[in-house]
Amino acid sequence: MSKQSNANSFSESIQSKPGKPYPLGATYDGQGVNFTLFSENATAVYLCLYDSADPSHETARIPLAERTDLVWHIYLDGLQPGQLYGFRVDGSYEPQAGHFFNPNKLLLDPYAKAINAPVNHQDSWLAYDYKKPTSSEDGSDEYLVMSQEDSGPTMPKSVVVDTAFDWEDDTAPAIPLHRSIIYEMHVKGLTHLHPTIDEAIRGTYAGLGTPEVTDYLKKLGVTAVELLPVHQFTDESYWGYNSIGFFAPQNTYSSSGMAGQQVVEFKQMVKNLHKAGIEVILDVVYNHTAEGNQLGPLLSFKGIDNRIYYHQVGDSPEYYMDYTGTGNTFNLSHPRVLQLVMDSLRYWVTDMHVDGFRFDLASALIRTDEEFGSVSSFLDTVAQDPILAQVKLIAEPWDIQSYHVGGFPVRWSEWNGKYRDTLRGFWKGDDGKAAETATRLLGSPDLYAADGRSPGNSVNLITAHDGFTLNDLVSYNDKHNEANGEDNRDGSNDNMSWNCGAEGPTDDPAINDLRERQKRNFLATMLLSQGTPMIVMGDECGRTQHGNNNGYNQDSEISWMDWHWNEKQQALFEFTSQLTALRQAIPLLSRRRFFGSEQVAYLLADGGEMTADDLNNPNTHCLALFIDGLRVSEQTEDGQDIGDEQLIWILNAYWEDIPFMLPKIGRKSSSWEVVVDTFAGQVNPNSTPTQGGKPFTVPARSSILLRLK
């Protein structure tokens, strides 16, 4: 007897009930499991159960006879957590009409809380027979012949999960955005080479939750980790930007198993990080899925209802609108697709206790079939949701066709790409960067002040996972991506980097000293600017990718954190840690509100105030920001006055030293003490104060923060 015959006969012995259409997915209630699946255009849906001891063996195939509000549903008595399952969905197979229904293909539940195996491509997962392309009768078009091969034996299975977990007294740290310091990192990359973490849990959720990691993050002074994607993804990308399970933690990051254990391990990691006062932000990819274009595999959504889940070309629905560069774009303009994304977000907050989200290619999320608009059903729905109103929402405000920094509404923060590009150009020594740099240092009020947002809504970054590391930004003029296997064609050619005089590693001490100073300049600028700073994993210790600016497929030492540091790396870490501590100690450096014109001024080297002409002079390469805390009326979160410090922050991107006349501020004996010195690489050095009215030399390509004593 065939496996399918066994499955059909076994299904007759299973006790079933009609079940309920909600909640969607597989819900265990202690007695059995309710299964539901939304599909508008399907003609039949089958629930398939699989043997946990032999996941290739289908033990039951049960037709779902009940359909309510376009949701197919059934309840099965006696099923327990750990049960493997999937769906087969029947309907029209008409690629030219945008339908890819194929009951020969097992599909993942869009609401699966866990997936039992890595999702590594198999030809049997294709909807069509790739060996038999066929032309239409008149020869004008080519279409895809339906595959008859059963994908069930090799396809990963969804797992029924018991969501119970002892959170004890877990409490969200709830750190105000403007007081946050974000650390963008990769779950595997941070701990895979860690020398003291148990080898069995390196590169996993468990490894990330160890005291070695939490103590390190606390010493560094970051308040949140922003994890590169942990939604279940396919194997094409080390970074994980190819999601297929929006509720399921990536199973290869689990040290304890893939039959639901990954859910428990993830929760324990969050619990441990929260105990250390560190928030967890997820980088989420709802703009596309791993199913690719019309030639991609049938994994879930495409086989459940392709016309619903994806944006298609209007008069050629076989093809996808591709705003993401990945072959497809998820269709959040459809209410059921929007519901899925909202349910996913709420699940990660309520059940998994995460503290926020960074939305990859967020401009693609708010597209209709028309152009970008500042208001969309997705943005409105998120903004009005009482659960999501309590967490951080960060947009990557662009996709491959549009760039909308500053274009998202209240409640949304943004990766500030203009901050990154402006500060890279300024410290590289480009002409004409002073005026915009002056604005970026103050939290980019030109982008965020007019619509009711605050400086904290500007997530200030110099580097990110895609692009050069900080070390490589000051060590390479050109990308070196040969290891990626694409003949160095991949990755950006416009890095706004400067190698300081030699390409890559050098023995020249002057170049190496300048590179270390430039790293300190970038870190100090980001951590002293108004806004929310984001440090990228390893930038605090000079991690290098050897000039590779596109490590998307580098599950290798190119992307992993190397924990064996030399003296310069240790010194950079200490400098960064001292900067984060200083930022927290001086609330004036991270305000909730924008500075008014009476509270700040930009000064000339002779002590006079800069004019607009001075700022817009293309030859201006030095800025001196005066902050008058005496004129700032604002309280910290605990009700204390924000402070009355008077600060001068000088950023000298010239290639020469500048004698700067420090101002006299109302006191005959007023003196200025150095708080940060990127030339010396010191925070709060024991230096002799300089009297107001006397010159103070600011070294070439360095930054100095002074405070009035």
DSSP code for 82: T
Cis peptide before 386 (omega within 30 of 0): no
Q: Percent helix, strand, coil in the chain (nearest 5)?
A: 25, 25, 50
With a CB cutoff of 8 Å and minimum separation 6, the contacts of 217 are 183, 225, 273, 276, 278
Token couple for 458 = 């500007």
Residue 251 neighbours by CB distance under 10 Å: 24
Mark 393-415 as b/e (b = at least 16 C-beta within 10 Å): bbbbbbbeebebbbbbbebbbbb
With a CB cutoff of 8 Å and minimum separation 6, the contacts of 186 are 227, 228, 238, 239, 465, 537, 559
Instruction: Give the angle subtended at the CA of 444 by the CAs of 278 and 617, to the nearest 5°.
Output: 135
**What is the C-alpha to C-alpha distance for residues 676 and 525, in angstroms, rounded to an integer?**
11
Instruction: Give phi and psi for 125, each to the nearest 5.
Output: -85, -10
| Inter-axis angle of helices 261-275 and 211-220, nearest 10 | 40
With a CB cutoff of 8 Å and minimum separation 6, the contacts of 123 are 130
Token couple for 630 = 């005496």
**What is the C-alpha to C-alpha distance for residues 279 and 465, in angstroms, rounded to an integer?**
19
Catalogue the E-assigned strands of 583-693: 600-602, 622-628, 646-652, 658-661, 671-677, 682-683, 690-691
Cβ contact 423:462 at 8 Å: yes
Distance of CA 87 to the CA centre of its chain: 30
Token couple for 347 = 């699940």
- Catalytic residue positions, numbered: 360, 396
- Paired with 35 in beta bridges are 26, 74
